[in-house]
Chain A
């Protein structure tokens, strides 16, 4: 069976102040990645980027992006990601850097990792909670975060279970 394979890169966008995250949208991130690849790898990189690259999911609250690359050249395109220093959107420049957390073959595996990662983050946040109600809120969110069959919940976000395209 011949199947078109891609690699999904789960990245986190780190910004110094979180309020700027809300201005992001997926087209801005895609443009930033394409520009960085063109700068680093020239015309060859820009051409590779136009094959099957897209931003599959972006969460402006937490700064998580899913990027899709073709399997043949994902390492080359991944190597250009550390050189992104700022993302331009609506005329504003947001200084940030991308941190890759996980590489998966399908969106589903990336989502599973993301659920685990988010529970880890919540566990990290728990000792820092200042008030009792914050603490109970965080505890509730951790307990809700589980992958049940057919009904995936990650803080109430949409689950996108699109698999690789079959040709």
Chain B
């Protein structure tokens, strides 16, 4: 056109090229979308400045003013439609009658990308059957065509909606390939014009480029083009911050999602199956039992064996110890389930022992008086049977000389030390029964009573728990039992060492309020002191003497009350007479004495110059409301708290004692003494060849000598006869 029109268009083109170049760097249309609202005011400004009267911004300004407040969305929508149209247009290789001229403008040599406003203008131009030259295109759009402009837009919109495959809630197509995603070609070409200009060399280049991009990959049905489209739509939908920095991750995720479509909603995912099963089991915990609701409520409120676990958990949480509140509640429900299933008098949550594959939740339980423990007896018999088999095994040794079958096989003189009898139920280490389960909701399993031999062996070994009760414990010295026994032994040791209470909470039965120990070795029972008034928290923290052990100490023998193993019972006396000769062991065994019950903690032995207990105030910022916490250094994981009249013990840990030195496994037993060598079993060496020959020679000589004598005698006799 004429000169006056050039500068404004030049200006315009300059501005556009500026925008285009700023957009050139990024492939993301989002930036172009952002640039659009910027572009419009710029253009408006430009128009005001460049008083060329080129109402380039007018159509847009018209749109804006006429649409009022809804403009941004609609504008964006329009832009998106144009963008979509552009995409659709680009996808339509099989419809060559598409406005190729439109595409030409998209790939103009100065690198103009599909800026929204650009495409709007171009669409208009297209609809108005524009020409090839850029200036003419601009010129045509600048003509403010009020109604025609709008009508075109309307038709454009209607056409668009007519071809949409589904109603869309967002302007962008969905980017998850789960639903049958119509390819671009099917989404409908949104605009078409009856007249198609002739393809130009640039168009051919574009078509070739597109054909290349649309090649499907060898390993899959996905083409680069589709993948890029997926990626860009995903980014546009999600609008992450700083997408350039996560471009590679997004790329990988998009590819992955293409091949891992979400399954339909009717089937559950197989790998979540165990999770759902566990959830079902735990759901059963939460359902109240059937029956009269009112009655149950009253009964439950009145008398329940389950303690207030939530309260204890709350206090322990102040100390920073314990499982989370939800877990504690589930444990409470699990204990309630246990109480319903077993005849339980009192129960308590003892703690949690961590294992390799699973962990154990331990409940300390006391059965009601007179409850038979049938399972226990079977276990006892099995153990005793096993022990009885061991001593006779020793007698089969000594099959040494086959030649001396006639001789009696020497009997071994080794006898196993007599087994220390285990403690009765409800006394000593077996005072409580223990139940374990892996998770609240699972079945509770009962642990057998502990025997002294197991405790003695457990002191010598150090093994992690696997989490399965029937796992063998492979160790030296060989542990008499499996993991259930080992667990029970450790529980017994931990209880004996770390169950403490504030001074005065428990008292001995006979004397009321009298704490002094008189001949304490015999005391093994205590009861709650009704007059206990609580010790101030600060005093509990300051001095360890305010805490006492209320669990009996386990003697080195493995029991709490000492039993002389060599003491012959009635049964053994009969056997003893026969075997008196073989008695080699020392007759006298010293009685083992341990600290009496209710000993204060200040009497505990130190570990390497370090106190065995650490006391803390739970919160130093509010001392008036805090609890006193005591932590064991000997058994890491054992905690006790006290506040007012309440106290509780808990153990959460791996179940091992702390030792500052490294663990030294027990050395193997010394080599057994050999049988005393005497002439009857000493092996004689065979005579050598020379000796045998010498012997034979000597024998022959002797034989020859006797023959000569005989001959001599015969000769003499003959001579005699001759005379």
A and B physically associate: no
Q: Which residues of B contact A (CB under 8 A)?
A: none
Q: Which residues of A contact B (CB under 8 A)?
A: none
